[in-house]
Amino acid sequence: MKKELIELNNARFGSFGEFVFESMFLKNLTRKNFDQADFKWKNKDVDIKSRRLLEKYYKTPSNYTGKKIKDIIYILIEFYKDKVVISKEKKIIKPPLNYKKVEKLYDEWVSYRNKKQKEKKLLKKDMTQLNLMKSEIKNFFFSSKNLNARVIYRTTQEDFGNESPANLLPKNIQENKVTVFLNFNNFNISENNLKEVIAFKDIEANRFDFIRATRLHKKKIELASISKKHKFENIKDLINRWK
């Protein structure tokens, strides 16, 4: 069993940790998988963090010390040499699991991944407001400027600093196309929560400066280098000031 856990890559190991939590706390639990939370549990957003400590015997539960987002509960699932411990802020929330139980859960998880037969309740993000904003922007550019607008968004730009989303740079540049980037302050997708709007004709994209070293080695625009003429406070400001 431990050999199997060691050989799992980080993504699959994290997936198994989520499955363990889900199996132990089925009541009041719904899968989420957006806004950096894995579940909605007792009406709270929960993010599962799994750790392999397979060379150590369990003594006391750890505390998650990584980056935290306000209003999200962080659950640690630690796989020790002798048992598996589920805790929240150094408090065990379920009796430790022995590896006989973990092996059974692992077999169920593998079966679920391979056959995809186990039904899961999945909470979907409400995209109504985003779709309304996209529609307003696209209609404005097409009806008044004869331009086709591509609208993208990000709710976690603060985590990336000056590094733009990879898709801010258009793939197929055409004269009648414009790119609009909606940068929200956080996961609340509403016009009142916009930090800024960046808009430019696609033919201008290669004039921007690019980040030298980027995540995943993809070409990214340096946001600070984008001229103020391409930056707007909100959608109303974009419509009023676009030239």
200 and 236 housed in the same domain: yes
Residues 39 and 72 in one domain: yes
User: Both 91 and 138 in a single domain?
Assistant: no
147 shares its domain with 219 = yes
Range of the domain at 151: 130-241
pLDDT tens profile 103-162: 999 998 888 776 554 455 556 778 899 999 999 999 999 999 999 999 999 988 887 888
Examine the fold and report which residue of 59, 90, 115 is the final residue of a domain before the chain moves on.
Answer: 115
Phi, psi at residue 42, to the nearest 5°? 55, 40
At residue 34, the pLDDT reads 76
Does residue 120 form part of some domain?
no
Q: Are residues 6 and 111 in the same domain?
A: yes
Domain count, the chain: 2
121, part of any domain: no
The tokens describing 92, both together, are: 């065990």
Same domain? 228 vs 146: yes
Distance of CA 48 to the CA centre of its chain: 13
What digits encode the pLDDT tens for the residues 57-101?
A: 999 989 898 888 888 999 999 999 999 999 999 999 999 999 999
The answer to whether residues 71 and 174 belong to one domain is: no
- Enter the tokens of residue 214: 């980027």
- pTM score > 0.85 for this model? no
Same domain for 142 and 233, yes or no, is yes
Residue 155 placed within a domain: yes
CA 162 to chain centre: 18
Residue 124 domain-assigned (yes or no): no
